[in-house]
Chain A
Amino acid sequence: MLGAAVLTVTGQREALIANYKGILEYEDSFIRVQTKNCRIRISGARLAIDYYTNDEMKITGHIDAIQYES
């Protein structure tokens, strides 16, 4: 699947999102990210973006849920 988002989640603390298009919303308790086909909503607590580049983003914090919104 060309251009689909790749999520690498390590435990409950770290998530690496590759192939994303942009940040839609970002707060302490949730992050919404636009990808090619859908939006991904990561909710939790004390979420922080360690770094992000044009196609990769690393989120750390306490992750409760990952939801796909289409």
Chain B
Amino acid sequence: MILSMIKYVQGYVHVRLTGYAPERFLNLCGSHEILIWNLTPCEDGYLFCVSVKGFRRLKPLLKKTRTQIRIIRRVGLPFATYRYRKRKLFVIGLILFGALLYDLSTYIWNIEINGNSYLSDETVLDFLAQEGSTFGTKKDSIQCQELEEALRSRYGEVIWTSIKIYGTKLTVDIQENLLPEEEYEKKEDTVYDIVAAKDGVISDMVTRSGTPLVAEGDTVAAGDVLVSGRLEIRDDSGEVADYLYRSADADITARVSYSYRDVIPADYTEQTATGEEATHDTLLFGSFSLGNPFFEDPYEKSLMTSDTVQLHLADNFYLPVWLVRERYQELRETPRTHTEEEIRQIATKNFHNYLEDLEEKGIQILTKNVIIKRTGGDYVVSGTLEACESIVSYRPTETGEITGEENQDTDESD
């Protein structure tokens, strides 16, 4: 392999030898130490390979043995460079291409993020951008170990991370703490009361810690303290000796009423697509945009939808180029009036959506009472709902010290 490469770099020729005494010529070559290889006989002589240097020394031997030599094929670098001597720019381009490819391979072109579930890919990419290790960064300037430490200290939920560079790809492996901290653990420093989030009548109450101030069946207003985080410690005479503070924790549900109101205008304009449409594409590079400058909306009334796509090379490597496609759909407007039946359908649909929204929030609907009235040109849907929902909300407990006098009083009485 190495031998054949050396032969290629030095250059060699395939030749045909004919004449009076070819065997003598071959022996002379041997004694003059001219290397000949791939020697094969042919009908009127021999075919063999000889190096360029050796070929130049053959002339006196040919004369002596009265043989002729003919070059059949030239192989090697010296001939290739001669053949392409008029294509210097091509060679320069080839070298430049190689150099550019080598240079570009020293940058990060692709980022892969694995194992993240709380942190989004975007968050991690933003973090990398802030640390100066995003797309197009030189690989030498990235300190993987320091990045790992920075990532762990920035995001508490990351318990293990590994950042590696393979080729032009940066791989971020993350292991997250999948057990989130419990809510009460977060607010350990301050003590909280449970207060009512809404007006209502308490229907169910389970207190786990704290002093309950209300009971089932009580009517409460928004802001009322339901469970206090302050525990009173009384002495033998029944007077308050001290307070103990501990966050209140309870499940409290209450019957809450909602009022519902929806206005549906009877007259409306119906917009229907005629099926005619036009599209207009624009390329955006930063603040520069490239599109058809003569394009304008061809319709009197139209619906314009615009899709913006950022061009990217790899999965995550986005170029600063956006393609904006605007679609104009022609619309026809016709004034119409809803019938009674249509109004009923729309009202029912809106009301159902409203109920679904409430149920999604975990609110249980108990009773509903809604009527439709026509006032002027509009239909008004109004009514009340009664629902069951958690009214727990937290507020820091007011901490009050027991006055010195009180303390002294109790001391004296002992």
Contacts and interface: CB of A to CB of B under 8 A. Distances in A.
Interface string B32-53: 0101111111000010100000
Contacts of B120: none
Given A54-B30, A54-B31, A54-B33, A23 B41 contact: no
Contacts of A54: 30-31, 33
Given A49-B39, A52-B39, A25 B23 contact: yes
Best-surrounded residue of B33, B41, B48 (most CB of chain A within 10 A): B41
Contacts of B33: 53-54
Given A53-B30, A54-B30, A26 B41 contact: yes
B26 A51 contact: no
Give the interface SS of chain A, mostly helix, strand, loop or mixed.
Answer: strand
A46 B40 CA distance: 9
A51 B37 contact: yes
A7 B23 CA distance: 21
A50 B37 contact: yes
B27 interface: yes
Given A48-B39, A51-B35, A52-B30, 4 more contacts: A28-B41, A49-B36, A54-B31, A54-B33
Nearest to A49: B39
Given A23-B26, A25-B23, A26-B46, A51 B36 contact: yes
Contacts of B39: 26, 48-52
A23 B37 contact: no
Interface of B: 23, 26-27, 30-31, 33, 35-41, 46, 48
B27 A22 contact: yes
Interface string A23-46: 111111000000000000000000
Given A22-B30, A54-B30, A54-B33, A48 B38 contact: yes
24 contacts: A22-B27, A23-B27, A23-B30, A24-B23, A25-B23, A26-B23, A26-B39, A26-B46, A27-B41, A28-B40, A47-B41, A48-B39, A48-B40, A49-B37, A49-B38, A49-B39, A49-B40, A51-B37, A52-B26, A52-B30, A52-B39, A53-B30, A53-B35, A54-B30
Contacts of A28: 40-41
Contacts of B38: 48-51
A54 B30 CA distance: 4
Contacts of A26: 23, 26, 39, 41, 46
Contacts of B26: 23, 26, 52
